[in-house]
């Protein structure tokens, strides 16, 4: 985990709050903080691709990640694994659709990413007991506001591209 005092965290926090001001209604500070934290964490490739196949290669295909997240027919060993994988899938799709626009080049592809991301966050929100009770409402909001969050991240991407083009090749 990247330190809460890491300079990237502060930069992403300010940038996300500014870019999301017109995208999300007020009182979504926890959503923007979550997204800023996700961007900071995903600055590490290991965090962006934590799931590995049997040969140890990073799994990047959404279909394979979704199959892996199934605790009955997939490789998730428990419902906690399912939650962890679904959270990652939602994060990965949100990041990919917003910060890597070429991954969502067609309206059909973007629509599929949005639906899969919404569904993954919705599944995470259903884990609403015990240690997950406090986080569940956040993931319900992320599910409902997935598409506006993609638009907000596209604004973040655009600003970074304009101000720091070598960073985003």
Give me the DSSP letters along 36-74: HHHHHHTTSHHHHS--B-TTSPBP--HHHHHHHT-TTTS
Predicted local distance difference test score (pLDDT) of residue 165 = 62
Q: What is the pTM of this model?
A: 0.91
Helices 79-99 and 107-126, interaxial angle, to 10°?
A: 150
* C-alpha–C-alpha distance, residues 67 and 115, integer Å: 16
Distance CA 129, CA 127 (A): 6
Could you tell me the end-to-end alpha-carbon distance of the chain, in angstroms, rounded to an integer?
A: 25
Q: What is the pLDDT of residue 167?
A: 56
Task: Dig out the tokens for 161 from the structure.
Answer: 């591209």
- How do residues 63-90 score in pLDDT, each as one tens digit? 999 988 988 777 778 999 999 999 999 9
* Residue 166: per-residue pLDDT: 61
Question: Could you read off the pLDDT of 95-138 as tens digits, one per residue?
Answer: 999 999 888 889 999 999 999 999 999 999 999 999 999 999 99
pLDDT at 121: 98
In angstroms, the CA 158 to CA 169 distance is 12
Whether the per-residue pLDDT at 169 is higher than 60: the answer is no
């Amino acid at each position: 985990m990247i330190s809460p005092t890491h300079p990237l965290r502060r930069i992403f926090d300010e940038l996300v709050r500014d870019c999301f001001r017109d995208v999300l209604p007020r009182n979504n500070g926890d959503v923007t903080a979550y997204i800023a934290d996700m961007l900071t964490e995903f600055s590490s490739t290991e965090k962006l691709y934590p799931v590995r196949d049997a040969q140890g290669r990073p799994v990047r295909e959404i279909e394979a990640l979704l199959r892996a997240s199934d605790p009955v027919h997939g490789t998730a060993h428990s419902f906690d694994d399912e939650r962890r994988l679904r959270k990652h899938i939602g994060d990965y799709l949100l990041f990919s659709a917003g910060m890597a626009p070429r991954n969502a080049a067609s309206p059909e592809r973007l629509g599929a990413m949005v639906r899969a991301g919404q569904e993954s966050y919705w599944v995470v929100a259903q884990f609403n007991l015990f240690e997950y009770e406090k986080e569940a409402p956040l993931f319900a909001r992320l599910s409902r506001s997935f598409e506006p969050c993609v638009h907000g991240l596209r604004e973040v991407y655009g600003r970074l591209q304009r101000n720091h083009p070598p960073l985003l090749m």
